[in-house]
Amino acid sequence: MGNRNKTLGEFIIEHQAAFQYSSGELSKLINAIRLAAKVVNHEVNKAGLVDIIGKAGDTNIQGEDQQKLDVLANDKFIQTLKNREIVCGIASEEEDDFISINSNDEQHQNKYVVLIDPLDGSSNIDVNVSVGTIFSVYRRITPVGTPVTLEDFLQPGRDQVAAGYIVYGTSTMLVYTTGDGVNGFTLNPAIGTFYLSHPNMQFPETGKIYSVNEGNYVHFLQGVKDYIKYCQQEEGDRPYTSRYIGSLVSDFHRNMIKGGIYMYPKSSQTESGKLRLLYECNPMAFIAEQANGLATGGRTRILDIQPTELHQRVPFFCGSQKMMEKLHEFLDKYR
Ligand code: AHM
Ligand code: MG
């Protein structure tokens, strides 16, 4: 079957067959994420009606408390994964600690852990700008049949089995990789089905877009400042275009399609930048590398960092290969 009208469901089944020893667990897991994504999408789309249906903290007509959307998204993803008993542990940007899941039938038999940022860029919701969900999947390290431990979550990004994001934008897309390229699926909201719309996504080798919060410029390291100045210089195909939504998923998604570079550097204010290694940088770095892009912390490959804590932050640079190489040249001058 060609790619015409292929649904995410069909794609998952087809690709499961490609894993010789697959038990179908990973496919079920992606399916659960697909389901939760649709529910969250529905809620995100209603966000503008907040004055009509009530805001966080209010009680709605059915007597239910209205939740903030990021809390709601967190609950939906966790509930869906828990109910379907397909993972042994979950860590979320919204939770202080990881959650260990006991399957009812066979205790702790599942082998995957999921790490999730349920609603990234949620400050954008109030102003009707795109937000996203980011997820990352690892095989547990500790033996199946025992409760998960912190060690199962603190694995370097290169050991990810799958990673992806959902962008709730002008249309809703689910983009993911299982280490065999990156594919994007667009939701047809009328029938609630994701269709393969962007097969084999690739960062263009170079691009003309740079994305960084320039309001922090004075606090950046000299190498980053110099690179930004380079992007703004009039020469060859420069100046580049500056585009910053402030929603990592959307900024990344645009750059992957059009060619560009995203930067969240450390600054004199924030020693490690802002973005979280486990919930944001690792999954995006895995997708970037699978799509012919690069992701580093300035020099170190993001996927090679050994995490030390669940909510660890790291500087993050990611994008088209040639642009990343140029950035590294500037950063190297100040080493
Ligand atoms: P969040 O997890 O609290 O939503 O923060 C992450 C977001 C990213 O989506 C975005 O790239 C970044 O924060 C923007 O930060 P800033 O407003 O400092 O530029
Ligand atoms: Mg986030």
Predicted local confidence at residue 92, as pLDDT: 96
Predicted local confidence at residue 52, as pLDDT: 56
Ligand 1 atom 7: residue of nearest CA: 121
Please tell me whether 120 is known to bind a ligand.
yes
CA angle 89, 123, 73 (to 5 degrees): 30
Ligand nearest to the CA of 121: 1
- Cβ atoms of 315 and 273 closer than 8 Å: yes
Ligand 1 atom 14: residue of nearest CA: 246
Predicted local confidence at residue 195, as pLDDT: 97
DSSP state at residue 133: E
Ligand 2 centre from 230 Cα, in Å? 29
Average pLDDT rounded to a whole number, residues 86-100: 95
Ligand nearest to the CA of 213: 1
CA distance between the termini of the chain = 52
Lowest model confidence (mean pLDDT) among 52-61, 196-205, 238-247: 52-61
Residue-wise DSSP of 148-209: --HHHH---GGGEEEEEEEEESSSEEEEEESSS-EEEEEEETTTTEEEEEE-S----SS-SE
Please tell me whether 38 is known to bind a ligand.
no
Q: Tell me the C-alpha distance between 120 and 165, whole Å.
A: 10
| ipTM for the whole complex | 0.94
Predicted local confidence at residue 156, as pLDDT: 98
Give this prediction's pTM. 0.94
Handedness of CA 38, 39, 42, 46 (dihedral sign): negative
Average pLDDT rounded to a whole number, residues 32-57: 80
Q: Tell me the C-alpha distance between 198 and 128, whole Å.
A: 25
Question: Reduced to 3 states, what is the DSSP secondary structure of residue 108?
Answer: coil
- The DSSP bridge pattern shows strands 316-320 and 260-264 to be antiparallel
Average pLDDT rounded to a whole number, residues 27-43: 93
Please tell me whether 244 is known to bind a ligand.
yes
Residue 130 neighbours by CB under 8 Å, 6+ apart: 121, 124, 167, 168, 169, 170, 245, 247, 249, 250
CA 234 to chain CA centroid, Å, is 34
Handedness of CA 8, 168, 304, 296 (dihedral sign): positive
Query: CA neighbours within 13 Å on the CB side: how many for 245?
Result: 22
Ligand 2 centre from 280 Cα, in Å? 6
Q: Tell me the C-alpha distance between 55 and 297, whole Å.
A: 38
Report which of residues 190 and 125 the model is more confident about: 190
Q: How far is CA 308 from CA 43, 147, 242, in A?
A: 34, 20, 34
Number of the ligand 1 atom closest to the C-alpha atom of 120: 4
Number of the ligand 1 atom closest to the C-alpha atom of 123: 4
Ligand nearest to the CA of 122: 1
Tokens encoding 149:
């431990």
- Outline where DSSP puts E strands in the chain: 89-92, 99-100, 112-120, 131-139, 160-168, 172-177, 182-188, 193-198, 209-211, 241-242, 260-264, 293-296, 316-320
Give me the residues near ligand 2 (ion), CB cutoff below 5 Å: 117, 120
pLDDT bucket at 120, cuts 50 / 70 / 90: very high
